[in-house]
Amino acid sequence: MSGRLLQMARRSGVILGHVLVYVLIWLSLALLVAAVGIRFYFGEISVGQMLLNLVSVEADGGGGDLVWKGVLGIGVAPLLVTLAIAFWQHRRRRRRLAGEGPSPRTKWITRAVSTVAVSALVVGSTTAFATTVNMADYIKSGNSKYDVGDYYAEPVVTSADGARNLVLIYLESGEGTLADDELFEKDAFLPLKEATPAAEGWQSVENFQQYAGGGWTMAGLVSTQCGVPLKSAGGDGGRGVGGVDTYMGGTTCLGDVLAGHGYTNVFLGGASSSFAAKDTFLSSHGYSEVKGLNDWRAAGEPADSFRPDWGLSDERLMANARDKVDELHAEAERTGNPFNLSVLTLDTHEPVHIYDYCEVDTENRVTSAFHCSLAQVAGFVEHMEAQGYLEDTAVVIMGDHLKHMSAGDAFHEQLDHHPNRTIFNRIWIPGQDQGSTLRDGVDQLSMYPTLLEAAGLTLEGRQAGLGVSAFAPEVPAGSAQAMDPEAYAELLDSRSAQFYTQAWASDDVTE
């Protein structure tokens, strides 16, 4: 009896061993395909970006067929390959039992080769995936001695007497480096530059930097409107996007401050508002109206104004923005309550889609796509000027992040080894002294207090979040911006578990 039990145990162990091997093969193939796919479509990313952004890609208005490519490539294909291997092994086993198998020596060599192959696949795929999402940096960040909460400055408005309207335009992948006509076929930003000349009072932050660890749209929105790097709760991905009613509800962001001083906050974007929980973020922070793909469809926008993978063209988006700014400005004049209109463009999101309104006159279609998109933004600025809105409305135009440099994107030759890639920006302040200058070299976190001051609010210490207003000529001692570069980079990279646990709660971060 004991011999029979031992035989059954051995057989069960063999079956379990085979199952574990096939699970390892399937998981390794899935990780390998995921690593290759991420590098091709997004380049190297962070664990936080993967947890907070990639998991929310949508089939409609948030990545399009990328969703199905992911399902087939990461989910279906590795499973089919694994099943094929299992079937092949099963046939070999049946042949061996029927006496048709290889010689003992050949059998040993086959097993050795199979073991090495599976081991190489497991190690190689794990390494490739870990490198692609910078797992080593993620692990290191958990041991940092720095915490964002130690440097976080709650925005304190000491005066709102100068409150004015604010128009904030985010340019998708709006990298200022693309304006270099010596590197590219033409200056893609020329239409917007001509509409925002320095001679008429438009200003810029020279060398405006993407914050270390940023590089995607939600990171750009959160950093410039909340003054902190975007990370999930506890810094470990445990909670952050899916299934939450608020998005970093424990922080005080731009829309919260403005709403608290009587502003009407409106957001317009061409893509799905729910992509990456953008609508949850905005509605959690004082925006009373958020419009995206579904709203434009319901409004009867023509079918040829939509791109199949993301959403509404910038031509139609900016046309709607013109109507909205007219409406908001008229309401502000009637009630005396200011407004904040925030807009996020779309056409320059790769892979670029050329709409009928855009004429391709460059060898690389991406250059023309940027030029066409920015011409639409320039037209919106010219509309505001023609209507006289620039007399009482601040305007801030900036890229949401640098242009992606994944394997499938354009301009590797020009940008891969560029020494100083910066984000395009233009700032208009009604009545601003043309001799004034903005502090150069600031990053996206300092744009938060800069926006509040652009809206005419006076800030205590000229600080908010980790940022110091670019209008401030000097950085206060003790602020995050006064840290040496290496320490500051470590602070931004730190997981800061306590701060982000509170930030994703509904309570105030200072409690």
DSSP string across 63-127:
BTHHHHHHIIIIIIHHHHHHHHHHHHHHHHHHHHHTT-S--HHHHHHHHHHHHHHHHHHHHHHHH
Strand partners, 157: 459
DSSP state of 204: -
Percent above pLDDT 70 for the chain: 80
Q: Which residues, 6+ apart, have CB-to-CB distance to 237 below 8 Å?
A: 47, 48, 51, 52
Token reading at 138: 């993620």
Give the tens place of pLDDT for each residue, 393-440: 999 999 999 998 877 778 988 998 999 999 999 999 998 876 678 999
Q: What angle do CA 242, 243, 245 make, to 5 degrees?
A: 115
| Largest separation between any pair of C-alpha atoms in the chain | 97
Strand partners, 214: none
Q: Highest mean pLDDT: which of 37-41, 120-124, 250-254?
A: 250-254
Give the tens place of pLDDT for each residue, 152-202: 999 999 999 999 999 999 999 999 999 999 999 999 999 999 999 999 999
pLDDT for residue 508 is more than 50 = no
Task: Say which amino acid occupies 259.
Answer: A
Q: Please report, for residues 15, 21, 34, 129, 432, the alpha-carbon distance to residue 78 in angstroms, rounded to integers and kept in the order given.
A: 21, 14, 10, 15, 60
Report how far Cα 50 is from the mean position of its chain's Cα atoms.
10
3-state SS assignment for residue 444: helix
Tell me the HSE value of 16 on the side-chain side, using a 13 A CA sphere: 6
Exposure string for 150-167, b = 16+ CB within 10 A, e = fewer = ebbbebebeebeebbbbb
Q: Please report, for residues 92, 188, 225, 237, the alpha-carbon distance to residue 493 in angstroms, rounded to integers and kept in the order given.
A: 51, 33, 19, 14
Predicted local distance difference test score (pLDDT) of residue 437: 87
Q: Please report, for residues 93, 117, 153, 415, the alpha-carbon distance to residue 102 in angstroms, rounded to integers and kept in the order given.
A: 11, 19, 72, 55
pLDDT band at 95 (very low <50, low <70, confident <90, very high): low
Give the tens place of pLDDT for each residue, 301-346: 999 999 988 899 999 999 999 999 999 999 999 999 999 999 999 9
* Helix (H) or strand (E) segment spanning residue 169: strand 165-171
Distance CA 434, CA 451 (A): 18
Domain boundaries, the chain: 2-141, 151-503
Q: Is residue 44 exposed (0-12), middle (13-18) or buried (19+ Cβ within 10 Å)?
A: middle
CATH 3.40.720.10 corresponds to the domain 151-503:
yes
| The dihedral sign for the CA sequence 264, 270, 275, 276 | negative
3-state SS assignment for residue 394: strand
Q: Taking a C-beta distance cutoff of 8 angstroms, is the pair 330, 291 a contact? A: no
Tell me the HSE value of 402 on the side-chain side, using a 13 A CA sphere: 24
Tokens 């460059």 sit on residue: 362
Distance CA 311, CA 268 (A): 12
pLDDT band at 239 (very low <50, low <70, confident <90, very high): very low
Percent above pLDDT 90 for the chain: 61
Predicted local distance difference test score (pLDDT) of residue 113: 73
Measured between its terminal Cα atoms, the distance across the chain in Å is: 67
Distance CA 32, CA 74 (A): 9
Q: Taking a C-beta distance cutoff of 8 angstroms, is the pair 225, 285 a contact? A: yes
Which is more confident, 133 or 332? 332
Alpha helices in 444-508 (DSSP H): 447-454, 485-493, 497-503
Return the closest-CA partner of residue 14 out of 98, 93, 85, 118: 93
Strand partners, 393: 165
Return the closest-CA partner of residue 336 out of 253, 392, 267: 392
